[in-house]
Every structure is written in structure tokens, then in C-alpha cells.
Amino acid sequence: MLKIRLKRMGAKKNPSYRIIVINSTTKREGRPVQELGYYNPKTKVMQLDKNTALDWVKKGAQPTETVAYLIKNCNEDGTLNYKKKETVKLSKKAQAKAQAEAEAKAKAEEEAKAAAEAPAEETAEA
């Protein structure tokens, strides 16, 4: 069975990977059937021959979970379509403070809304 997986390259604590098609019983650093591209997770640089990868999948090659993600998020020119996460992680103390501020703001809006409705009711009665 053929697999599309990553072959580790690069120095210690500085990995880069080649995206390869290889027999599933071959060791990680074994000789590939075909090289499809490369991927550097630290700099988010990738170059992938997407059409060839999809052809291999149609032929029955099984991509690993990571390679499937890379193929899915690949642009037509073979580069990675990387979106940086917008959420910021806060400490528990900061989360509690933000929640208290949000509750205070919501309470102030409710009071302002109630105060705005009260004079409108008085003018309608007169």
C-alpha cells in the first residue's frame, strides 16, 4: 500500500520535511516512489505539486493526517494557505476580569435602554 507522508530532513531541533509517496512498509527515511514537494513548519513555507498529489490519492495512495491537511490548505500554485489564529490566550485572572467588564457593560446597556423607554411611556400617557 502506498502512503503520502513526510520525510524528515534538516538539523536537530530545526526540522524540514519532504512530502513523498512511499510504500507503507518502508522506513521513514527510505527511498520514495516520488517526491511531491517540501514543507518547513517553522517558517510555514511549503511547495507542493497539488495535481500530482491528488492523482496519487485517486490511484489509492493514503495521505497521513498532516499531509491531508497540507493538501487541503494548499493554493493552486502549491504554497500553503496559512491563517494565523486571531484568538489570544488569556490567564484565568485576565479571563475573569474580561468577563466582569462584559457583564458590567451589558448591565449598563440594559439600564440605559430601560431609562430611554421610561420617558417615552410618560409622553404617551400625557
16: domain CATH number? 3.30.1320.10
Return the pLDDT at 29: 78
- Choose among 2, 60, 61: nearest CA to 26: 2
> Which residue is it, cell 467588564?
101
- Report the C-alpha gap between 97 and 67 in whole angstroms: 41
Domain residues for the domain of 10 are 2-72
Return the pLDDT at 110: 87
Is residue 48 domain-resident? yes
Is residue 31 domain-resident? yes
- Report the C-alpha gap between 117 and 126 in whole angstroms: 15
Is residue 118 domain-resident? no
Is residue 63 domain-resident? yes
Is residue 15 domain-resident? yes
Is residue 109 domain-resident? no
- Report the C-alpha gap between 75 and 113 in whole angstroms: 49
Instruction: Please tell me the total number of residues recorded for the chain in this structure.
Output: 126
Q: Report, in this order, helix, strand and coil percent for the chain, each rounded to 5.
A: 40, 30, 30
Is residue 6 domain-resident? yes
Is residue 29 domain-resident? yes
Q: Number of folded domains in the chain?
A: 1
C-alpha cell at 28: 521513514
Q: By percentage, how much of the chain surpasses pLDDT 70?
A: 92
Give me the residues of the chain with pLDDT under 70, please.
Answer: 85, 119-126
